[in-house]
Amino acid sequence: YSQSFFGFGQSAEVEIQLSNSANRKQVDVKNEDGKKERLFLYYDGETVSGKVNVNLKVPGKKLEHHGIKIEFVGQIGEIYFLFFWIKSDKKNSQLHVHTFIQDVSSAGHISISELFYDRGNHHEFTSLVRDLARPGELTQSETYDFEFVNVEKPYETYTGANVRLRYFLRVSVVRRISDISKELDLAVHTLSSFPEMNNSIKMEVGIEDCLHIEFEYNKSKYHLKDVIVGKIYFLLVRIKIKHMELAIIKRETTGTGPNTYNENETIAKYEIMDGAPVRGESIPIRLFLAGYELTPTFKDVNKKFSVRYFLNLVLVDEEERRYFKQQEIVLWRKGDLKKKPGILTEKLKHSREESKPEDTEE
């Protein structure tokens, strides 16, 4: 909420109530502080409707305004942080405090103290407005209906290291000095059709005359509740391997050209072997994705950012040398066509008829 210019506080409170909220699914979404909050879930093409309550704090006291409106906004924001550090001057026994704004997208890793999140630059890819009331005055609390019909929501809600994509409703009671406003964030998931081509991954890697292994994964595309199944074959082993692990790496790419910045995060790490293998040995892989915080693969979202996932196979020898091979996989969100009516079903109807997903969403 905003407060009045003179510091006396606002004269009304705004509340947004969504239609059918009692039956609408809620999901956990990270906010700008990295904390999880429960948001109502919507899909591309769904109507967003409800009521706006403008409640006067002092009954009978007039509230003059220049109009009341509600906006539906889809927004991509770059993340900036304000940092401070303290430098000690031992010679003069003084402490010098420095502050600066740090653009994370071009910074790399920083070992200083974060003060707070700053919203940085914004790009609105969706912006719809509905007028709720013409300029006038309120003498009592009022309720207004709103409806955004079949709203396009082309991208999924996402909060990453350097970028945030969000959808929200914003109500503004426009006033001469300071507006009274309220925002309500919404979660959006994008459902994908079943991939028509989903070939297995099979590769041979090694070091000449020292190590030769072959690894195989059952698929190249996995839904978010899927299981990665595979095998590692040791064809030649002439180095002393101590253990082997499989990791899922998430790579967030922001910016373009010379300003491109990659942020890598290890989402999961799974030890698949402990001890030295022998020639001809086969090591099975079975990694359940449901237990990890994963998103679908995002490719060039609104020309602002991408999110890709990699399987990283790492071997460590007795001298702590590491040998690794990275392979990209595609992650997607699975949905049930039969239970999603209207526009959503039309968007997904091209998925293969023989596929029969069991759940509304996984």
User: What pLDDT, on a 0 to 100 scale, did the predictor assign at position 316?
Assistant: 87
- Work out whether the CA dihedral 104, 107, 108, 113 comes out positive or negative: negative
Q: Residue 127: helix, strand or coil by DSSP? A: strand
- What mean pLDDT comes out for the span 25-52? 93
130 burial type by CB count under 10 A (0-12 exposed, 13-18 middle, 19+ buried) = middle
Mean predicted confidence (pLDDT) in 333-360: 46
Give the tens place of pLDDT for each residue, 107-123. 333 333 233 334 457 89
CB 154 within 8 A of CB 312: no
Give 265-278 pLDDT, tens digit per residue. 999 998 888 887 88
Confidence of residue 361 (pLDDT cuts 50, 70, 90): low
Q: Are 314 and 243 in contact (CB under 8 A)?
A: no
Q: Which helix (H) or strand (E) holds 53?
A: strand 48-56
Residue 5 confidence class, pLDDT cut points 50, 70, 90: very low
| Span 1-24, average pLDDT | 73
Stretch (H or E) spanning 187: strand 180-189
- Alpha carbons 299 and 338: distance in angstroms, whole number: 27
Summarised one tens digit per residue, pLDDT across range 220-242 is 999 999 999 999 998 988 888 88
Structural contact between residues 309 and 263, judged by C-beta atoms closer than 8 angstroms: no
Give residues with Cβ within 8 angstroms of 245, minimum separation 6.
Answer: 269, 270, 271, 272, 313, 314, 316
Computed over every residue of the chain, the mean pLDDT equals 81
> Under DSSP, is residue 345 helix (H, G, I), strand (E, B) or coil?
helix
- Determine the Cα–Cα distance for residues 339 and 332; give it in Å rounded to an integer: 18
Cβ proximity of 7 and 173 under 8 Å: no
- pLDDT band for 129, please (50, 70, 90 cuts): very high
Distance CA 10, CA 7 (A): 8
For residue 59, the model assigns a pLDDT of: 80
For residues 320 and 239, is the Cβ–Cβ distance under 8 A? no
Q: Strand 158-159 to strand 142-148: parallel, antiparallel, or no bridges (unpaired)?
A: unpaired
